[in-house]
Structure 1
Amino acid sequence: MSHLSSLIDLHCHSTASDGTLTPSDLVALAYQKGVKHLALTDHDTISGLDEAASTGDALGVNIISGVEFSAQWNNQGIHILGLNFDRQSPIIKSAVERQESSRFLRTKSISERLEKKGFEGLYEAALVSSSGQAPGRPHIASAMVEKGYVSNVSVAFKKYLGAGKVGDIRSVWPELNEVVGWIVDAGGIAIIAHPRKYNMTVTKLRSLIADFKASGGEGLEVITSGQKQGEIGLLADLCTKYELKGSLGSDFHSPTQPWVKLGAIPSLPKSVKPVWLDWALSV
């Protein structure tokens, strides 16, 4: 079944969170790229899924329900993908309502911290940038650029919004086991998103995976954009060691980021059981 990988992308974002394409335009792009199975995994919201599914039905692209939940583990921010859940589940609906409220609170807290550094008006500008959706750090970064406080988004994250910086607030997020429970109880599968982007030692990553699996998590995102050589092999080995399924996704946000292309991701190693193996996907 691994040959299906070139036709599937299980991690991407739309204007429902911090992507730049509407759900419909995102699905249209997936169709152009030959993607047959697409999971829309916006941050802490499922508000784009119905629009994506409607366009998918029209174009023949299978839309898999998805979400990328923010969580914390040992006081570190972790992203957990929920895939193939019941999008009508009251558990998921309640979860995204809670997360979206937390996002507004977090953005306001970050803005207040940065205001003390002399950066004014960021919360209001972030709300405009997010078009009324729950804003996140990328929206604050865009606001900082727009107001001339920094030269570009990368600088905003490097100096003010990245891990360990003044604008890095994680305490609003629920614990890992609670987030995994939401996904499992809604009939979905929980995946650790981009495991090598958390700047963890392999020993700490193993500890995260052990706790994740004990909570009911079933998969690792083995392949995503921007990985370093050797990381795929490491994650494949961890899937084998912990008896986890493997997922893959571009983590696409915008066509203006040519280093992240929708659907342009390698196949899973043959040693890894694909997360979609039991979903009866057609080629």
Structure 2
Amino acid sequence: MKSAIDLHLHSCYSDDGEVSPQELVIKCKNNDIQIMAIADHNCVRANGEAQSMALAAGITYIPAVEIDCTFNGTNLHILGYGIDYNSPDFEIIENDITKQSSEVSYKMLLATQKLGFGISRDDMSSLTENMYWNDRWTGEMFAEVLLNKHEYKNHKLLLPYRPGESRSDNPYVNFYWDFYSQGKPCYVEMLYPTLEHIVEIIHENGGKAILAHPGASLKDNGKILNDIISKGIDGIEAFSSYHSPSAAFKFYKAAINNNILVTCGSDYHGKTKPSISIGQHGCLISDEEMQSGFLSGLFK
């Protein structure tokens, strides 16, 4: 089921995004989205480009960002809504990630080669040469290159991501989670700020701090959810393309029990998650109830 609300969209200013902010507004209009937010990874550049265009299209726009951070050794994503995206605080965050990205990308390349793949710098650079962040590579990008190399058509590590197989629904992002996410063979540590610091930054810039897709980020560490809530987050993205209905209900109840906001977002990326379309987040609550109740704290 699709919704007229989507508060988690990615543009080309995310290193794993595809379309421009302007294209994303058009896609939202064509999908009857009434309330939207572009929440790019560690980057607020899309907001200025999208906001006026969204308003002209009759769409309510909420400025947003998705920031990487850590808590008790676990990497998390925190969504900031209603932020002052012109604040230099967000430029500092973007610059910090940019400084680390080239070295981390090269280490990921070496780790991928250790898996037995003959993949080169040129392979990766050819993929990213026309992208905004053309000097950084993600796990999804490694997947795209490898899955399109003819010589690896029957490679055993890639078979689960081929059409019709167990990880083929979103092969690129699934490959990322299986090989490049925290604790996996090709994971390379980035030095992210703490959860507490990011919550503080978002609040200082007029925003609400929301825990993104906890079903994907926490995995077996779901027991730390209450500790995360105690650090001052304002809500939970209970409804996400990553969550089954039972998981969504669990996170919804956690938010309600702690008197914090509930949000919904598809985490649309384009080709990185081809089975996910705009507005597809499985929200179990009507758009009217979300807008008048759970999301009311995001509007100014």
| Fold in common (TM above 0.5) | yes
1:279–1:29 Cα change, 3 Å: same
The partner residue of 1:250 within 250, 262, 266 is 266
Kindly provide the CA deviation profile for residues 93-136 of structure 1, in whole angstroms up to 9, marking residues without a partner as x.
22222223333332232123334454322553454264435543
Deviation for aligned residue 1:252: 0.9
Contact persistence 2:68–2:76 (CA under 8 A)? yes
Question: Secondary structure in 2 aligned to 1:172?
Answer: coil
Which residue matches 2:5? Answer: 8
Verify: 1:53 aligned to 2:55, yes or no.
Answer: no
Q: What is the 5 A alignment of 1:269-280?
A: 274-280=293-299
Alignment length (residue pairs): 274
Matched position secondary structure for 1:91: helix
Matched letter for residue 260 of structure 1: I
What is the RMSD of the two structures over their aligned residues, measured on CA atoms? 3.0
How many Å separate the matches in 1 of 2:268 and 2:212? 13
TM-fit CA distance, 1:148: 5.0
What residue in structure 2 maps to residue 120 of structure 1?
Answer: 120
Q: 1:74 & 1:233 partners in 2: Cα distance? A: 25
Aligned residue number for residue 167 of structure 2: none
Local SS of the residue matching 1:10: strand
2:236 is equivalent to residue 238 of structure 1: no
Residues 5-154 of structure 1 mapped to structure 2, 5 A cutoff: 6-17=3-14, 18-117=16-115, 118-121=118-121, 123-125=124-126, 127-128=128-129, 130-133=131-134, 134-147=136-149, 150-151=152-153, 153-154=171-172
1:44 Cα offset (Å): 1.3
Cα distance in structure 1, aligned partners of 2:64 and 2:244: 26
Distance (Å, rounded) in 1 between the aligned partners of 2:110 and 2:272: 30
AA aligned to 1:252 is: Y
> Could you tell me which amino acid in structure 2 is paired with residue 166 of structure 1?
P
Distance across 2 between alignment mates of 1:149 and 1:161: 22
**Which amino acid is 1:120 matched to?**
S
Counterpart residue type for residue 176 of structure 2: F
Residues 105, 119 of structure 1: alpha-carbon distance in 2 compared, 3 angstrom cutoff: same
Task: Tell me the distance in 1 between the aligned counterparts of 2:144 and 2:231.
Answer: 36
1:189 matched residue in structure 2: 208
Does residue 259 in structure 1 map to residue 255 in structure 2? no
Deviation at 1:178, TM superposition (A): 2.0
Give SS of 1:223's match: strand
Name the structure 1 match of 2:156.
none
Does the 8 Å CA contact 2:44/2:64 hold for their aligned counterparts?
yes
1:235, distance to aligned residue in structure 2 (A): 0.9
Specify the SS of the correspondent of 1:39. strand
Deviations 1:239-268 (A, max 9, x none): 123222111111111178553121234243
Bigger shift: 159-168 or 18-27? 159-168
What is the CA distance between 1:65 and its match in structure 2?
1.0
- Report Cα offsets for 1:201-221 as digits up to 9, x if no partner: 4xx4242442x3343211100
Displacement after TM superposition at 1:31 (Å): 0.8
- CA offset at residue 25 of structure 1? 0.9
Report the secondary structure of 2:63's partner residue: strand
Given candidates 166, 169, 189, the residue that maps to 2:185 is 166
- The change in CA–CA distance for 1:40 and 1:19 in structure 2 (over 3 A counts) is same
Stretches of structure 1 that go unaligned for 5 or more consecutive residues are none
Question: How many angstroms apart in 1 are the aligned matches of 2:265 and 2:49?
Answer: 20
Q: Structure 1 residues 126, 189: CA separation in 2 closer, same or farther (over 3 Å shift)?
A: farther
Give 1:149 shift.
6.9
CA 1:146–1:36: 2 relative to 1, 3 Å: same
Q: Determine if the alignment matches structure 1 residue 225 to structure 2 residue 223.
A: no
Runs of 4 or more consecutive aligned structure 1 residues displaced over 4 Å after TM superposition: 146-156, 255-258, 269-275
Offset at 1:226? 4.2
